[in-house]
Amino acid sequence: MTGGGAMSLLSKLRCITVDVTGTLIAYKGELGDYYCMAAKAIGLPCPDYKRVHEGFKLAYTDMAQKYPCFGFSAKIPNVVWWKTVVRDSFVKAGYEYDEETFEKVFKRIYSTFGSAAPYSVFQDSRPFLRWARQKGLIVGLVSNAEYRYQEVILPALGLNKGEWDFGVFSGIEGVEKPDPRIYKLALERAGNIAPEEVLHIGDSMRKDYVPAKSIGMHALLLDRFKTEAAKDWREAGAIVLPDLVAVQQLLESDKLKC
């Protein structure tokens, strides 16, 4: 994006792709809240928040390395993939439940995270997606997420197909960020358009900005939570904005040239 009599970026764009978690929606509360609710519902004491959270991080990372994309290539059903993660989270946190007890706890956790309950939509998300579509842009979602995001969670949050045109979800496609192939898939879904006609918006340098730029897309980052890393992103040359209102303003101001 360079100045000097160039066209404004907005006039050249045909598509905007957007990351989901951290960009359009956020987790509400803490992981421990949901694990605690599930345990309490069947009369068990509330597990320790910190230990469960640490246990989950380890269990999730481990499973994602062994069976990426929520078990896609190993053909592990989504529910089985998550069951392994949740069981391992409890074990790593020092909680060993018998099979029957664990089944009951897990069922509650799994259905909660397959609903709108643990998520909230940022206030500027829907207006931004609508604005983009009113401008005649194709809107795509690119997310390391399982199939329930597309089928259940996003519709339940009011982010229906009316707000976006296509989704590329790692659990459905079998490819995940930061692999640039997930962005190439997005270009295909948008109708085989050229990467320079697409702007990707996300919240991770490694998973969003770098791979999108590597295939020739435009990219910028959101820093909704004033993270330490944002300074490094700016130093690395990325455009970093506080929210989607600022993205819309910047695009409409025609200051972004390409």
Do 201 and 168 form a contact (C-beta atoms < 8 A)?
no
> Residue 144 to residues 98, 148, 175, 201, 252: CA-CA distances in angstroms?
32, 12, 9, 14, 29
Residue 5 has pLDDT above 60, yes or no: no
Determine the average pLDDT of the residues in 234-250: 97
pLDDT of residue 258: 56
Residue 12 has pLDDT above 70, yes or no: yes
Determine the average pLDDT of the residues in 42-56: 95
**What are residue 86's phi and psi, to 5 degrees?**
-65, -45
> Residue 140 to residues 158, 187, 254: CA-CA distances in angstroms?
16, 9, 22
- Assigned token pair, 18: 């957007």
Q: How confident is the model at residue 257 (pLDDT cuts 50, 70, 90)?
A: low
Read off the DSSP letter of residue 195: G
Predicted structure pTM score: 0.93
60-64: list long-range contacts, CB under 8 Å, 24+ apart. 60/85, 60/89, 62/88, 63/88
pLDDT of residue 123: 98
Q: How confident is the model at residue 176 (pLDDT cuts 50, 70, 90)?
A: very high
